[in-house]
Chain A
Amino acid sequence: MKNLPTNPMRRMWHRIPEQVRHLLVPCVIILGGAFVARHFFVPADFNLYGHYRASSVVENAEREIKFAGSEACSDCHDAEAAVKKTGYHQGVSCEACHGPEAAHTQDPEKVKPYVPRARSHCLLCHEYQPSRPTGFPQIVAESHNPVKPCITCHKPHDPKPPQVPKGCEACHAKIQRTISVSRHANLQCTVCHETDKQHSVLPRQYPPKKPQTREFCGGCHGQDAKADKDIPRVNMNTHGEKHLCWECHYPHMPEAH
């Protein structure tokens, strides 16, 4: 039988089994130590804006800027900017071709800008690729003045082609290739597509019109149409019911169904 101490506090303490009493020591040390460590090691600005270090936002915001932005270029190079403003490359920023030039804006004399003069540079955008959207000016590099640097004929800040493209095929080559092996090969594009002159300069602002009605096709293909004898005729009242003609016939290759 254990002799319990006379002091009531001590008696209560000794009522707790010895194992538990001795376990409390390492417990307190570990938990206390954890508490202390927290306050020394958790950064002071944590949880200020959210569950993260607030100064990290500033660290991210104060990184070095490499691209200056077109506005910065026109501050000094206003002549080039003026030339570029109305041409085909008005939407292309300076640094898209010249690369990051923030260092050049900081010290224009010491840091010279990169000037791309090789043919391969322009081909990055203008090489023909079927995946590129139709209407984007593309050339097949092997057949379009091979080896010659593009800037020989095209001024980069105002890349008007030396001869204005006669037809639509300069930009719409894929459509041209499709239609050239079809029955519509001899049709001028403008027969069906009424086009503003400005379309070749600002294609998106002045899109060409497209026929809207069956009657338009009926103008050549209707039974009583005043057109070439060899053009196939259909009864416009019954053929195709209420459908528009191009819902079934691709106008650039009408024989394909």
Chain B
Amino acid sequence: MKRRDGDGVNRERRGFCKFLLLGAISLVVPGEALGAANAKPAAPGWYGTTYKPTEHLYGMGIKVDRCIGCGRCVDACKKENNVPDEPFFFRTWVERYVIDEDGEITVDSPNGGRDGFKGPVSEKRVLKSFFVPKICNQCEKPPCVQVCPVGATYKTQDGVILVDSSWCIGCRYCIQACPYGARFLHPKTKTAEKCTFCYHRIVKGLTPACVEVCPTQARVFGELGKIASPLSRFRRMNKIAVLKPHLNTEPKVFYADLDMEVR
């Protein structure tokens, strides 16, 4: 069968290739145009109109000497945010530190402290013992956001680190990257989860659930950069520390009366 013409060109193949090329171009060009036209804000409703995220920068203060280890915060968080009840998933938890006279340190957190703490603390004579509530530190330089491959976790304009459960692919890199153990994988949705400062509460003027129920006001919620915020007073009146400062994550959860043994 003579396929090639006088010039040595296979017309049929030439035609087919042209068709393919044109087809690809005809899809790409309008696609680009559509894409450019679609770059309008798609976030609906009140966000950005009545509530302006750029006007806020949230943080939390924790006064260690006030924590009584009752676990109401852990319980409230689980209820407010539908965290699974099993003792493997916590958005916030309370640790108990026991330092005995020989300098040995024992740390525990039975069920995250949700049912309180029980039992004898140590056989040896105790030098001191205290509770430390733990939570996502909502870092200004979050290593979890840095390593997320798809942009499913991010820092909002008001400083809160959130997770996009519809976009998260469940690779768990963020869980590995968090130095504070604040993240976990939700067993049902198979996406990463963590404390969100109860974002759905704070944008409406409420406080996070853990702050709401703390009976001794060991947790203080407020905004950085606003003089009238309870957090400003907290930072002014106390000697402040953050967890793992050498990692330069710039946490926005500030601890007062933090002992050097706390990790």
Q: Judge whether B116 and A124 touch: CB under 8 Å.
A: yes
In chain B, positions 1-43 with a C-beta closer than 8 Å to chain A are: 7-9, 17, 20-21, 24-25, 27-28, 31-32, 34-35, 38-43
Which single residue of chain B is at the shortest CB-CB distance from A7?
A: B7
Least CB distance, A13 to chain B, in whole angstroms: 10
Interface centre among A6, A38, A45 (most CB of B within 10 A): A45
Most chain B CB within 10 A, of A3, A51, A96, is at A96
Say which residue of B44, B151, B200 sits within 8 Å of A46 (CB atoms).
B151
Interface residue? A183 (CB, 8 A): no
For the complex, give the distance between the alpha carbons of A96 and B70 in Å. Answer: 10
Task: State the CA gap A83–B204 with chains docked (Å).
Answer: 28
Whole-angstrom distance from the CB of B10 to the nearest CB of chain A? 12
Q: Is the CB of B157 within 8 A of A129?
A: no
Q: Are B70 and A125 in contact (CB under 8 A)?
A: yes
Decide: B79 and A100 in contact? CB cutoff 8 A: yes
Report the separation of the CA atoms of residues A130 and B125 in the bound assembly, to the nearest whole angstrom.
Answer: 11
Residues 1-25 (chain A) with a chain B CB within 8 angstroms: 2-3, 5-7, 10, 25
B131 contacts A53, C-beta separation under 8 Å: no
Residue in A29, A48, A59, A63 whose beta carbon sits within 8 Å of that of B41 in the complex: A48
A129 to B117, CA, bound (A): 8
Asked whether, in the complex, the Cβ of A29 is within 8 Å of the Cβ of B20, the reply is yes
Output the residue of B7, B34, B66 with the most chain A CB within 10 A.
B7
The size of the chain B interface, using a CB distance under 8 A, is 75
| A79 close to B (CB within 8 Å) | no
Determine if A132 is an interface residue (Cβ-Cβ < 8 Å): yes
Q: Are B121 and A130 in contact (CB under 8 A)?
A: yes
The interface centre, meaning the residue of A10, A60, A127, A130 with most chain B CB atoms within 10 A of its CB, is A60
Whether B7 pairs with A6 at a CB distance below 8 angstroms is: yes
Are A93 and B7 in contact (CB-based, < 8 A)? no
Task: Please name all residues of chain A whose beta carbon is closer than 8 Å to the beta carbon of B129 when the two chains form the complex.
Answer: 130-131
Question: In the bound complex, do residue A52 and residue B151 qualify as a contact, i.e. CB atoms below 8 Å apart?
Answer: yes
Residue contact A50 to B68, C-beta cutoff 8 Å: no
A44 in complex: contacting residue of B40, B96, B162, B199, CB < 8 Å? B40
Binds B, one of A65-73, A145-153, A160-168, A187-195: A65-73
Which single member of A36, A43, A51, A61 contacts B47 (CB below 8 Å)? A61
- Report if B154 contacts A (CB, 8 A): yes
Are the CB atoms of A67 and B212 closer together than 8 Å? Answer: yes
A124 engages B167 (CB within 8 Å): no
Query: Which of B9, B31, B157, B165 is close to A49, meaning CB atoms less than 8 Å apart?
Result: B157
Cβ-defined partner of A54 (8 Å) among B43, B121, B153: B43
Q: Does B259 contact A (CB under 8 A)?
A: no
* Least CB separation from A14: chain B residue: B8
* Interface pick from B173-181, B214-222, B248-256: B214-222
How far is it, in angstroms, between the C-alpha of A125 and the C-alpha of B73 when the chains are bound?
12
Closest to A37 in B: B31
Q: Known contacts being A36-B27, A95-B213, is A125 close to B162, with CB within 8 Å?
A: no
Q: Is the CB of B69 within 8 A of A91?
A: no
A56-B166, A92-B215, A100-B76 are contacts. A51–B68 as well, Cβ < 8 Å?
Answer: no
For B63, the closest partner residue in chain A by CB is A133
**A127 to B28, Cβ gap below 8 A?**
no
**CB-CB < 8 A to B156: which residues of A?**
49, 57
Which single member of B8, B17, B154, B196 contacts A50 (CB below 8 Å)? B154
**Would you list 16 pairs from A and B whose C-beta atoms are within 8 A, ordered by A residue?**
A29-B24, A32-B25, A32-B27, A39-B34, A42-B35, A52-B153, A57-B53, A63-B199, A63-B200, A67-B79, A67-B201, A92-B215, A93-B213, A131-B121, A131-B131, A132-B68
Q: Which A-B residue pairs are the 7 nearest by beta carbons? A: A45-B42, A32-B24, A56-B164, A52-B154, A131-B129, A63-B200, A96-B213
A contacts, CB < 8 Å to B:
2-3, 5-7, 10, 25, 28-29, 32-33, 35-36, 38-40, 42-46, 48-67, 69-70, 89, 91-93, 95-96, 99-100, 123-125, 127, 129-133, 136
Contacts beyond the supplied A28-B20, A67-B212: 10 A-B pairs with Cβ under 8 Å: A28-B21, A48-B42, A56-B164, A56-B167, A58-B44, A63-B199, A69-B207, A93-B212, A96-B212, A124-B70
